[in-house]
Amino acid sequence: MRSSTRRRRASAGRRSSHLPVGDAGGCRTSPTRSYRSIQWRNEHVEGHRNSVTGQAKIEGVALQAGDIRGGVHIHSHAPALLPVPQQLPPAPARLLGRERELAMLDRELESALPQGGRCLVLIGPAGVGKSALAGSWLRSRAEEFPDGLFYADLRSHAPGGPTDPVEVLGAFLRALGLARVPGELHEAAALWRSATASRRIGVLLDSAATAAQVRALLPGAERSVTVVTSRTRLGGLFMDGAGFFPVGLIDPVAATELLAQRVGADRIAAEPIAAEQVVSRCAGLPLAICVAGARMASRPRQPLAATAEALRREADRLAALRMDGEMAVRGALDASYGLLDRATARLYRMLGQLPVLDFTPETAGAAVEVSLDEADGGLDALAGAHLLEERAGGRYRFHDLVRLHAGERGRAEDTPEQCEAAVRRVGEHYLAAATAAEALIMPSHRSLARDYHQPPLHAAEFEEEGEALGWFDRERDQLSAVLRDAARSRRYTLVWQLADAMQPMFIRLKPHAMQVESHALGLDAARKAGDRIAEQRLLTSGGQGLRSAGRIGESAQWYAQALVVARGNGDRRAEAQALTGLGHAHRILGEFDSARARFAQALVLREALGYRRGVGLIRIALGEVAVDVGDEAEAVRQLSAAIADLTSVDDPYEVCRARAIRGRAHTLAGRYEQAGAELETARAGFDTAGSTHWRARSTEWLGELALAQGESDLARERFTVAHELYLSVAAPDTARLARRMADLDGRD
């Protein structure tokens, strides 16, 4: 999506001057930073003084002046200010039976600050209420975290395995306004620590699997607090200075009060013995009490004794399953399940078979082949029975133990074919929706087959790119879960087609780790399915993903394989694409002769095909290689031809890229006036296109131009602006430019 452009213009007199962001007279700050105390002064020849003093917060672009003569044009493309993250899921308004635990956490917060922030680990059995305790406590201390509250479900017991920390870091960093996340865990974790270093934040990491999974997500800021919940003792976090807090069962008084919240105090008072039996048979486990309470609340005329008796029977039958309180939950779940109507019970069982963690009416409708209204009603009924947890945005989720119960009931009451069909329909639902989004965002990419056992019941419709991209962003975890499950189940066609359909998400949202994994699974599936065209596509797009993730050597290997397959298929367009990718990989590796040879081969093929845009792109690549080896004349020749080709096909963005690189070639050749004109024109074009990365690169090259002309102060200003822009998109150039700025400071 292209960001909108706001233009503010003040003009008087006949002279016009431009004040680029970061130049004297303008003040640009990152939209995610607050400046508590600012002293900013600008002396003018006419004696005017601009100043900002005291406690101030400046967002975006600010211009302060006594008089303006001529024209001032400020083009602001800063991203819209994001709200302070408040990601915690809903928590009970009043937490019963946890006064001791809350007091312990409060005392820990008020103790001396440890180095690197606090990490508090809540340990206890499933269903005991660790998440509710953690969320309620963090909410109660929200004033301690003015820079936001973050939440991640680490899914230690999810069917697809624990959450990859890179996925969590991606979500956290996007919430802070950083659009791109490094694909390597150590780089993403370092960026997370850098982005939160001066912030006061709270983080809830729910259902952690291992200490290593948690360690990568610790912000490390001095005033930060990270609360971790887990069923297992994460002993490795002792080394990180974590505090450990056991969470046990609630006492009978609190359990009775919790039950009264669900069914009403009058019913408890009318049948105190039955209420006591229900509490006893729920073993002090909050989840079991809530499930039993939901059962009784749905039967207001039924005596409490009926539920107490049902729990006694189920407890006898399931006594062998006792483990950390699970028996109490299973008994309560069986009792509640027995009260569901036939359609809702089937929905419950089929949801238990699915690999996805979140459910929407669309996924539920696909699972059991009902309308969206019927699916929505079924989800609401399950949430009312406390068998589903309602989440934000009309989504629902199982508690881990409830998911196990639903899965068991499905395997016991439905045939394997019925269960498999539900999983297949949901997988094809995601394939159809991803394909619809793909067709809207990247219509030229939508060319390979899509196969369905039956037409998807609820076809997705997207009206504009932002809506389609938003769907990809919301559903990325579900897409990964479907892909992994399909690979395990050997549904090879679904695997490679879904991996291919997700390409717009990979290009626009840059989830590098997910892209690499998806293409590895998709490539393996295409080969096992014997589809050579799909194999070639996955090799090419997978090579691009590896290059984006910084795994250049592997990227070159994938492109080399793609070249062999494309030639075997007799596909000259695909052959040119593979050669282009191989050339880019070799150029990054510093193998310039090989890169130039691959680009030259691709150029011949694209010229023969009459693919003029492709010819222009190859000429840009040849121009970049010429700049790398210091052949400025060849660079200008190739880039000028590229500009002509790309102008003829109306591709202004790529024209700007060619101009920027040609401007750098002019700088290296000492043609400074031409270089400045080219780079300023290119930067303005990237402003219009909303391309942060290339805006940063052209600004950096303008800094190089200033340095070549001996203007070190101007060079430093431009490098600083470029560095902030690189940082905002997590570009690998950030560290390189920081080192260059440090070297420049060392010369002074």
Q: Does residue 51 have a pLDDT over 60?
A: no
Which of 383, 414, 445 represents a domain boundary (last residue)? 414
The answer to whether the beta carbons of residues 494 and 428 sit under 8 Å apart is yes
Percent of the chain with pLDDT over 70: 85
Task: Quote the mean pLDDT of the chain.
Answer: 83
Whichever domain contains 740, its CATH number is: 1.25.40.10
Q: Does residue 12 have a pLDDT over 60?
A: no
| Beta strand 396-397 pairing with 389-390 | antiparallel
Output the pLDDT for position 332: 67
Residue 504 and residue 456 share a domain: yes
Instruction: Over range 649-653, report the average pLDDT.
Output: 90
| Beta strand 225-230 pairing with 243-246 | unpaired
* Position with higher pLDDT, 51 vs 6: 51
Confidence of residue 655 (pLDDT cuts 50, 70, 90): very high
Q: Does residue 233 have a pLDDT over 60?
A: yes
DSSP 106-145: HHHHHSPPPTT-EEEEEE--TTS-HHHHHHHHHHHTGGG-
Rounded to a whole number of angstroms, the CA Rg of the chain reads 30
In tens, the pLDDT along 321-336 reads 333 445 556 766 787 7
Which of 285, 307, 337 represents a domain boundary (last residue)? 337
Residue 663 and residue 583 share a domain: yes
Q: Does residue 81 have a pLDDT over 80?
A: no
The answer to whether the beta carbons of residues 229 and 207 sit under 8 Å apart is yes
Most confidently modeled of 128-142, 212-226, 256-270, 594-608?
Answer: 594-608
Residue 233 and residue 104 share a domain: yes
Residue 104 and residue 193 share a domain: yes
Residue 429 and residue 488 share a domain: yes
Domain with 31 in it: 6-76
Residue 278 and residue 130 share a domain: no
Residue 727 and residue 620 share a domain: yes
Q: Number of C-alpha atoms within 13 angstroms, CB side, residue 638?
A: 24
Residue 240 and residue 105 share a domain: yes
The answer to whether the beta carbons of residues 483 and 499 sit under 8 Å apart is yes
Q: Does residue 65 have a pLDDT over 70?
A: no
Confidence of residue 647 (pLDDT cuts 50, 70, 90): very high
Judge whether 1 lies within some domain.
no
Please choose, from the candidates 676, 681, 713, the residue with its C-alpha nearest in 3D space to the C-alpha of residue 22.
Answer: 713
* Position with higher pLDDT, 388 vs 319: 388
Percent of the chain with pLDDT over 90: 51
Judge whether 420 lies within some domain.
no
Output the pLDDT for position 341: 92
Q: Does residue 136 have a pLDDT over 50?
A: yes
Residue 17 CA to residue 9 CA, distance in Å, equals 11
Instruction: Over range 283-297, report the average pLDDT.
Output: 82
Please choose, from the candidates 340, 385, 335, 395, the residue with its C-alpha nearest in 3D space to the C-alpha of residue 364.
Answer: 395
Residue 578 CA to residue 175 CA, distance in Å, equals 36
Q: Does residue 671 have a pLDDT over 50?
A: yes
DSSP 41-53: EEE-TTS-EEEE-
Whichever domain contains 154, its CATH number is: 3.40.50.300
* Position with higher pLDDT, 292 vs 363: 363
Output the pLDDT for position 327: 56
Judge whether 87 lies within some domain.
no
Q: What percentage of the chain's residues is helix, strand, coil (to nearest 5)?
A: 60, 10, 30
Residue 218 — φ and ψ, nearest 5°?
-70, 125
Q: Which of 434-443, 446-455, 613-622, 726-735 has the lowest mean pLDDT?
A: 726-735
Residue 501 and residue 357 share a domain: no
Give me 23's structure tokens: 């130049």
Confidence of residue 56 (pLDDT cuts 50, 70, 90): very low
Output the pLDDT for position 583: 96
Q: Does residue 252 have a pLDDT over 80?
A: yes
Whichever domain contains 374, its CATH number is: 1.10.10.10
Please choose, from the candidates 464, 462, 472, the residue with its C-alpha nearest in 3D space to the C-alpha of residue 436.
Answer: 462
* Position with higher pLDDT, 322 vs 114: 114
Q: Number of C-alpha atoms within 13 angstroms, CB side, residue 346?
A: 15
Q: Does residue 282 have a pLDDT over 60?
A: yes
Output the pLDDT for position 135: 92
Residue 712 and residue 586 share a domain: yes
Q: Does residue 15 have a pLDDT over 70?
A: no
Q: Does residue 724 have a pLDDT over 80?
A: yes
Residue 680 and residue 532 share a domain: yes
Output the pLDDT for position 690: 78
Judge whether 373 lies within some domain.
yes
* Position with higher pLDDT, 276 vs 316: 276
Structurally, how many domains does the chain consist of? 6
Residue 730 CA to residue 184 CA, distance in Å, equals 12
Most confidently modeled of 115-119, 220-224, 513-517?
Answer: 513-517
* Position with higher pLDDT, 404 vs 630: 630
Give me 148's structure tokens: 């936001």
Output the pLDDT for position 716: 93
* Position with higher pLDDT, 558 vs 728: 558
pTM greater than 0.85: no
In tens, the pLDDT along 434-492 reads 999 999 988 878 889 999 998 888 888 899 988 998 999 999 999 999 999 999 999 99
Output the pLDDT for position 702: 96
Output the pLDDT for position 747: 66
Judge whether 39 lies within some domain.
yes
In tens, the pLDDT along 558-602 reads 999 999 999 999 999 999 999 999 999 999 999 999 999 999 999
Confidence of residue 28 (pLDDT cuts 50, 70, 90): very low
At which residue do the structure tokens 């003569």 appear? 69
Residue 191 and residue 133 share a domain: yes
Instruction: Over range 522-548, report the average pLDDT.
Output: 95
Instruction: Over range 674-691, report the average pLDDT.
Output: 91
Judge whether 81 lies within some domain.
no
* Position with higher pLDDT, 310 vs 451: 451
- Output b/e per residue, 522-555; b: 16+ Cβ within 10 A: bbbbbbebebebbbbbbbbbbbbbbbbbebbebb
DSSP 659-680: HHHHHHHHHHTT-HHHHHHHHH
Judge whether 622 lies within some domain.
yes
In tens, the pLDDT along 488-525 reads 999 999 999 999 999 989 887 878 889 999 999 999 99
Q: Does residue 238 have a pLDDT over 60?
A: yes
Which of 317, 337, 357 represents a domain boundary (last residue)? 337
Please choose, from the candidates 220, 230, 219, 217, the residue with its C-alpha nearest in 3D space to the C-alpha of residue 114.
Answer: 220
Judge whether 419 lies within some domain.
no
Most confidently modeled of 297-301, 387-391, 427-431?
Answer: 427-431
Q: Which of 31-45, 531-545, 602-616 has the lowest mean pLDDT?
A: 31-45
